[in-house]
Amino acid sequence: MLVKSRPPVSSLLLGIGRRSLDNFRDTMQIAKSRLATRPARYPNVLWSVWVLVWVLLTAAAFVRLDTPAGMLHGKWSAGFARTADFFTQFGLGGWYLIPSVLLLVAANLTDWRSLSRRSLMLLYNWTCLAFLVLCATGLSGIAVNVLKYAIGRARPLYYEDFGVLTLHPFAFDARFAGFPSGHGTTMGAVFGVALLLFPRRWYIALAITACIASTRIFVGAHYPSDTVAGFGLGCGFALACGLVFARLGFIFRPMPSGLPVCKRTFRLIGPTRKAA
């Protein structure tokens, strides 16, 4: 009886590597072609109004809330502090960056040509969503870290020593990395993505993400103005990414004015088959 020999591991790895490279090249060609054929005409979004509201809310939080927040640091009940410390972990970027990267890696190693049309569309939609989350949280995360250390605002943990407005630009010290809030930025990006995907349920997304972002105040890591500034920054990055995705035809379709809307073909769960 003849037994078919298995291909060596090196051949399998070489095949996977070639497939990964081919998938990457195909993706780049699609994006390049769409950027070349679709003019950079973005819808009229009232960015000036968004920025003005963001600045005013940040300023109001600084004037009215930052000093009380600094004075109240360490005076919350133990149970409330533990609850805030638990929920603040969900503001870490890793919760959103790592799954997105893993999904993109898996998609890059997949043989797309062997998939059925239904499976192909599902994988395509999940891949686009992962890339959107990666761009929104990743780019805003880079921006906020640059700003944090460039501004160098002291955290409320050190309110008694430095007060509410002590700046040490480019000190590269975690004590002086308060403005804007990184967790707040991540939550703002998550809210922005949710706003694009589920515009009719924006208030639910806002309530959840704002509550998680606000925990940074209660654990003494940030002032309210830090959190508001970070939240607006992350949301702005997410919406900008959505506009670029709409131009490329990924997930969204552009509108004459306002934010893009999801395509009808964007589904993360396949249609259920009716029983005969």
Instruction: List the chain residues with pLDDT less than 70.
Output: 1-13, 270-276
Asked if residue 131 is part of any domain, the answer here is yes
Asked if residue 108 is part of any domain, the answer here is yes
Asked if residue 14 is part of any domain, the answer here is no
Q: What is the number of domains present in the chain?
A: 1
Amino acid 44: pLDDT: 78
pTM above 0.85, yes or no: yes
Amino acid 32: pLDDT: 82
Amino acid 34: pLDDT: 79
Amino acid 7: pLDDT: 59
Asked if residue 169 is part of any domain, the answer here is no
Asked if residue 28 is part of any domain, the answer here is no
User: In which domain, by residue range, is 213 found?
Assistant: 44-164+178-262
Residues pairing with 44 in the sheet:
257
Asked if residue 4 is part of any domain, the answer here is no
Amino acid 1: pLDDT: 47
Asked if residue 98 is part of any domain, the answer here is yes
Asked if residue 32 is part of any domain, the answer here is no
